[in-house]
Amino acid sequence: LDSFLSTFPFPFPLPPYLVGGLSGITRSLYISSGVAANNNLMLSSSHITSVVNVSGEVVNTLYEAIRYVQVPVAGTPRSHLCDFFDPIADHIIHDVGMKQGRTLLHCQRCEPLAALCLAYLMKYHTMSLLAAHTWTKSCRPVIRPNGILGAAHSLFGKNTVHMVHSPVKMIPDIYGKEVRLMIPL
């Protein structure tokens, strides 16, 4: 358990005021908005060596000594984000981390960003979807992954998160309480 916990950069969730910047998920994986991803001071002070842009809307400012990768998905439920789970988890996040580097995933919207992050945690930290979601949300409170349920099932043969009916639409069961609190009586 200690070796598993040592892969995470913080013993407790980040304070909410840091959410506008880079959020550490593991020692080698950070997530942020496009604005933070284009801030050279944030990138260099966090020792980011690889940036994965999961946004068609944000153009990266290219800085020396940083590897840039564009994931060409729209972030809609119809996009094929799952096609990028393994390549991003294996060749970008994991390989960079093995070389003591750090990867920053960024997107304008939180859905595809969170899905790639959860896929990595499930694969390389053998976390269930529920555990990966809980951990990531504790590090960066605003996440709404899409397209991840199939990946969880293919990795583990089961899902720890299920789709349920809500007054709005079908939603993952982990958001049931939040949706009920948002619906006026």
Query: Phi and psi (nearest 5°) for 163?
Result: -80, 135
Phi/psi at 136 (5° precision)? -65, -40
The angle that helices 129-139 and 110-124 make with each other, rounded to 10 degrees, is 120
Q: Which of 107, 110, 117, 139 is catalytic?
A: 107
Inter-residue contact 9 to 27 (CB < 8 Å) = yes
From residue 144, give the alpha-carbon distance in Å to each of 31, 45, 94, 111, 134. 13, 27, 23, 5, 12
Distance CA 163, CA 161 (A): 7
107 an active-site residue? Answer: yes
- Two tokens, residue 153: 């099932």
Rounded CA separation 42/156 (Å) = 36
Q: Which residues are catalytic?
A: 107
